């Protein structure tokens, strides 16, 4: 069933935990609410479950207004982070609990099916304390799913697991959701988790949804600095629009005047005209790094680069280009990560695949960084450039 939140808000005393929120969660989707601690994820989930009364607005399930419906009358089940299994009941009886409570007497077949779904058949007679964290998590899931809810709400269900088990359970949860086909609303503060599992991610910040979309769309085309920094890493350069040229924007970096370009449609500024200040963004893995002596070939397209980089305007189709000096180089096995200080932006992050290492790319080396205009985005400069960064959160 499609869940529709219209202007749903929650105020605790004089603190607004959730600002009026409009959200449509399509039937059968895996929907993630992603955001830092305290941004209002659990509160939103609890309002959908009926455990928290909205201060304003309404909630529809399909066409039915469920805003005033008590929790047990909603076709919704919740799985919490701490599982809350019954310690004295074995796995089978934990899973059967919901059916027994409703007076169902022959539970055997359904319980068996559920245990099969979560691959716990052989452990049916164990008590929760005899299970690993991931196994307990699967019991909690089976216990919720056996009630055949139309919507399953999951509040940080993998929060107690170590990283490896977490990754494994993410795939498992995704498989189960695909198999049962019901709507999952998953709350997490882990961006990788949201991106791996969800069809649609709503990025929340301070009680508001900043941006909503498919994981790749959010990553490739963030529309705010918060999303650009909270989902992965972004390099942001202060720049000013110089001119609009057909489908392209030509910009100049503030201070150095280094020319930069990007497709107009990748600019999240309402009215992109000459003189408007923007933050030009590029993801670290989109950047190619060359030693300054080599100039730097374009990373793709047919255009010819200007060689040394700064100064003259790049030709159509050519890469954006910045010069800089390596401050730090890290070897991560799968990739090489560099921090480059450039006159237009200190501490540029660059990730290179570990294929052909240029031994000259060590701290102190003069380099050229270049990337395609199509991998560039631009954001409104009237925002905090550091919003959503780890440093800000600490
Ligand atoms: N019953 C309450 N009374 C007062 N304030 C509350 C209450 N419940 C939540 N809050 C506040 O509302 C804000 C949002 O809380 P919520 O639990 O929704 O955050 P969250 O996004 O789930 O965070 P976390 O990732 O830490 O679980 C927080 O600042 C919290 O302190
Ligand atoms: Mg929470």
pLDDT per residue as tens digits for the range 348-366: 999 999 998 889 999 999 9
Rounded Cα gap, residues 289 and 322, in angstroms: 10
Residue 37 CA, ligand 2 centroid: distance in Å: 7
The pLDDT of residue 305 is: 41
Dihedral sign from CA coordinates of 290, 291, 292, 296: negative
Spell out which residues line ligand 1, taking CB within 6 angstroms: 12, 15, 17, 35, 37-43, 189
Q: What mean pLDDT is reported for the chain?
A: 89
Distance 155 CA to ligand 2 centre (A): 7
Contact between 322 and 348 (Cβ < 8 Å): yes
Please choose from 8, 32, 43, 185 the residue to mutate so as to test ligand 1's pocket, defined by most ligand atoms within 8 A of CB.
Answer: 43
Instruction: Identify any residues that bridge with 321 across adjacent strands, giving them in sequence order.
Output: 370
Q: In what order do the strands lie in the sheet with 335-342?
A: 288-291, 366-371, 320-331, 335-342, 345-353
Most informative mutation of 21, 34, 42 for ligand 1 (most atoms within 8 A of CB): 42
Read off the pTM: 0.87
Report pLDDT digits (tens) over 9-68.
999 999 999 999 999 999 999 999 999 999 999 999 999 999 999 999 999 999 999 999
Ligand that lies nearest to the alpha carbon of residue 55, given by its number in the listed order: 1
* Distance from Cα 42 to the centre of ligand 2, integer Å: 4
Residue nearest to ligand 1 atom 8, measured at CA: 43
Chain-centroid distance, C-alpha 56: 27
Is residue 294 within 8 Å of 356, Cβ to Cβ? no
Q: How far is the CA of 58 from the centre of ligand 2 (A)?
A: 21
The SS3 of residue 121 is helix
CA of 181 to the centre of ligand 1 (A): 30
Ligand 2: distance of its center to the CA of 17 in Å? 12
For residue 308, what pLDDT is reported? Answer: 42
Specify the ligand 1 atom closest to the Cα of 189: 25
Q: Do 130 and 148 contact (CB within 8 A), yes or no? A: no
């Amino acid at each position: 069933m499609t869940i529709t939140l219209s202007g749903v808000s929650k105020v605790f005393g004089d603190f607004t935990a959730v600002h009026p929120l409009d959200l449509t969660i399509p039937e059968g989707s895996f929907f993630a609410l992603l955001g830092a601690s305290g941004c209002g994820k659990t509160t939103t989930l609890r309002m959908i479950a009926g455990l928290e009364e909205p201060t304003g607005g309404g909630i529809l399930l399909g066409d039915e207004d469920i805003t005033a419906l008590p929790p047990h009358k909603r076709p919704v089940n919740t799985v919490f982070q701490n599982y809350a299994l019954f310690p004295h009941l074995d796995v089978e009886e934990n899973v059967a609990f919901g059916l027994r409570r409703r007076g169902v007497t022959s539970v055997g077949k359904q319980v068996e099916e559920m245990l099969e779904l979560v691959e716990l058949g052989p452990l049916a007679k164990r008590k929760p304390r005899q299970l690993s964290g991931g196994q307990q998590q699967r019991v909690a899931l089976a216990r919720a799913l056996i009630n055949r809810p139309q919507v399953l709400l999951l509040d940080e269900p993998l929060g107690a697991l170590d990283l490896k088990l977490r990754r494994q359970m993410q795939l498992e949860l995704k498989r189960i959701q695909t198999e049962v086909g019901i709507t999952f609303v998953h709350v997490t503060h882990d961006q990788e988790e949201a991106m791996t599992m969800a069809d649609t991610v709503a990025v929340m910040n301070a009680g508001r949804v900043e941006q909503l979309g498919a994981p790749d769309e959010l990553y490739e085309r963030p529309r705010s600095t918060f999303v650009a920094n909270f989902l992965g890493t972004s390099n942001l350069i202060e720049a000013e629009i110089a001119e609009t040229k057909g489908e392209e924007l030509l910009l100049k970096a503030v201070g150095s005047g280094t020319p930069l370009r990007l497709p107009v449609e990748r600019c999240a500024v309402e009215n992109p005209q000459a003189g408007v200040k923007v933050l030009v963004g590029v993801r670290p893995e989109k950047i190619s790094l060359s030693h300054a002596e080599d100039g730097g070939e374009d990373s793709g397209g047919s255009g010819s680069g200007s060689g040394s980089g700064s100064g003259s305007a790049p030709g159509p189709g050519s890469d954006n280009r910045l010069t800089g000096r390596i401050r730090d180089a890290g070897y991560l096995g799968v990739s090489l990560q560099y921090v480059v200080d450039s006159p237009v932006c200190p501490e540029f992050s660059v990730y290179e695949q570990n294929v052909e290492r240029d031994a000259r790319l060590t701290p102190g080396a003069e380099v050229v960084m270049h990337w395609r205009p199509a991998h560039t985005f631009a954001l409104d400069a009237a925002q905090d450039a550091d919003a959503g960064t780890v440093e800000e959160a600490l």
